[in-house]
Amino acid sequence: MLFVVGAGVGGFRPSLAAGQNTCKPAVIGGKHKCLRVGQRCTARYQAAYKRYGFMCVNGRLRKHATTITTTNTSPPPTTTTAPNQQLVHQNRVYGGGQFMGPDGTPRNFAVDAHAEPGSNPAFGDIEYGNPVHYSHEQIACLTVSGNKATLGAMFTQGDRPETIGYLVLMVVVDNGTPLSGNPDQATLQVSGPPNDPTWPAGFPNACPAPDTAAAFATYFPFSGGDIVVQNAK
């Protein structure tokens, strides 16, 4: 015995005749219907018809062509390298410390400088001071060689207005972490007006290599702090 699944629900019976336009059970306007192409329809139920694959056009049902859309679940495009990855590929000097000058006066400084290898200019800042004077300096050039780096900068702020615009040059040495037992080192800062003929050739657009900066042969060990000199990878 054959049973018609769903037959008689709501008072309708779908046709089983082969080749006939079979209807589709639906609920339209709160009533059970059996929808088929060409059947009379009411426009106000258009949304309901569409749920069952039909459209009401000029009072008659037609098949509703549905468009299947796909949602792109791929992650949004990102930059080729994250900020931290970009920093790995730059020459950098960052950190700070204190060292005692030849006059017995402490110097304190902090620096954050970075540059793409082989390119100018460099970017960053230096804060530098002693018990008498202080200055804020904008990085202009950076040359890294091994664990040493030459920093070139310009005074942008300080307690002596007449020095604003002066150039600054210093060298730092990274001897590892404070736990290494070998403290980092730095030279004194040398400063002067931009038109001073004794500045190295090309300065401040380019910094001399640390080992060729003969004027900075004296390095002073840190009494505290830590400097990191990073060669581009």
- The pTM (predicted TM-score) of the whole model is 0.62
Residue pointed to by tokens 């040359």: 143
Residue type at 177? T
Beta carbons of 147 and 229 less than 8 angstroms apart:
yes
Q: What is the pLDDT of residues 43-89, one digit of tens each?
A: 888 888 888 888 888 888 888 765 444 445 455 454 444 445 556 67
For residue range 167-179, list pLDDT tens digits in order.
Answer: 999 999 999 988 8
What average pLDDT does the structure give for the chain? 81
Tell me the mean pLDDT in the region 211-217.
69
DSSP 3-state of 47: helix
121 prior amide bond cis, ω within 30: yes
Query: Can you tell me the distance from the alpha carbon of 30 to that of 88, in angstroms, rounded to the nearest whole number?
Result: 66
Q: Which residues contact 170 (CB under 8 A, 6 or more apart)?
A: 150, 151, 186, 187, 188, 189, 190, 216
